[in-house]
Homo-oligomer: A and B are copies of this chain.
């Protein structure tokens, strides 16, 4: 074993960073044995140097992250600050000064992955980011390496623990969205401002990263259709149960049936209770991958939290250190396929639509005609008259597979029917 240590700079020492530092210290011997050389924590950049950090030598702590990544003796920079800047500049500077980078920064990777990969390649450096998607769950490496000889057709995942906790709570207790969110906040599963989670921004960043890797194609954050889950109601869960489903916020990356294009999207969807993703509880994450040869795979585990995220960071750290020792770099960016990314309108899936309609003869025929005119084939219709003898009824339509554009056209036309009082909900049905 080499005795001269590899030097690691840690940018950020919050929930994840402090776990990375702790494990680097307590498991130093194991890491050295697995890498083939000791690793040394050579500097820790923080915003508040006065904060006491157990187990970290105060002499290593600095507020000058830029100077740390410019030192020139750093082998690997671990970036767990999050956000776009200063993370982006620090990572680029690290490459310029000979370091490889391990990052957990999904927002940055989703937005600037291509430029960062190019910078890494220019400097023969590694850029690893297993922790950026689904926390501890090995996903980037399996997609990029284990499935490197296969053709991935679909990635279907629960990649946000906060929203899964909320939806699971709504499902199991009948709670409404706000009540479930309040509980998630009280338990620390949701942040004070939950927007990034509940509006699907976090999941969309992960979808962009996953789609890019799965399809060897550049998928930008703007390419990802995004719909949050704040409008999912207890009534939606009742509807889902009536058809043997539950509701999950899914990130879905798909290759079109003809193979010529891909899509990426995040939205709530009904999935059958028999689907492995349906039983993913609480704040857990799980990602379902379908490929030509392997068939259906699923990866399950904790999608967030200090220790799980640190586990993913350290796995990357070991890999990057090994690469440093052998003078090689790992598999970098792969976007050779250059498939066009289609818009949401071209996505083909099934829909569950609840309509409030007038309770009189001929309504179903009118509604069915609108679906037919837009080329959307109906699978089942359930009609429920109101018990109070009033003039309204509810009509639940589940369609066969249709394009999102056709469905949107259908819904617009339905809204123009005199007999349709309103469209109570539209939800996609996935995983069948």
Contacts and interface: CB of A to CB of B under 8 A. Distances in A.
Interface of A: 19, 23, 27, 30-31, 33-34, 130, 136-138, 141-142, 145-151, 216, 276, 279, 291-302, 305, 307-308, 310-319, 322-323, 326-329, 331, 334, 336-337
Given A302-B294, A314-B293, A334 B146 contact: no
A311 B293 contact: yes
Contacts of A311: 147, 149-150, 291-294
A327 B328 CA distance: 8
Contact of A148 (B297, B315, B334): B315
A310 B331 contact: no
A319 B328 CA distance: 13
Contact of A146 (B19, B130, B148): B130
Contacts of A295: 136, 301-302, 305, 307-308
B315 A151 contact: no
A127 to B, nearest CB: 16
Contacts of A329: 326
Contacts of A315: 145-150
Given A30-B151, A295-B301, A297-B299, 4 more contacts: A130-B146, A141-B141, A149-B316, A295-B305
Given A301-B296, A328-B323, A138 B149 contact: no
A154 to B, nearest CB: 14
A146 B150 contact: no
Contact of A297 (B138, B150, B292, B297): B138
B151 A141 contact: no
Nearest to A296: B301
A293 B307 contact: yes
A27 B151 contact: yes
A138 B148 contact: no
A142 B148 contact: no
Contacts of A145: 141, 315, 318-319
A215 to B, nearest CB: 11
A146 B308 CA distance: 12
Among A146, A313, A323, A329, max chain B CB count under 10 A is at A146
A149 to B, nearest CB: 2
Contact of A149 (B23, B147, B299): B23
Nearest to A19: B293
Contacts of A334: 33-34
Contacts of A138: 138, 141-142, 146-147, 297
A136 B299 CA distance: 12
B34 A148 contact: yes
23 contacts: A23-B149, A33-B337, A136-B297, A142-B146, A145-B315, A147-B315, A148-B315, A148-B319, A149-B310, A149-B316, A149-B317, A150-B314, A276-B279, A292-B307, A293-B308, A293-B311, A294-B311, A294-B312, A295-B301, A295-B308, A298-B298, A299-B299, A322-B331
A47 B228 CA distance: 58
Contacts of A276: 279, 300
Contacts of A136: 293-295, 297
A147 B318 CA distance: 9
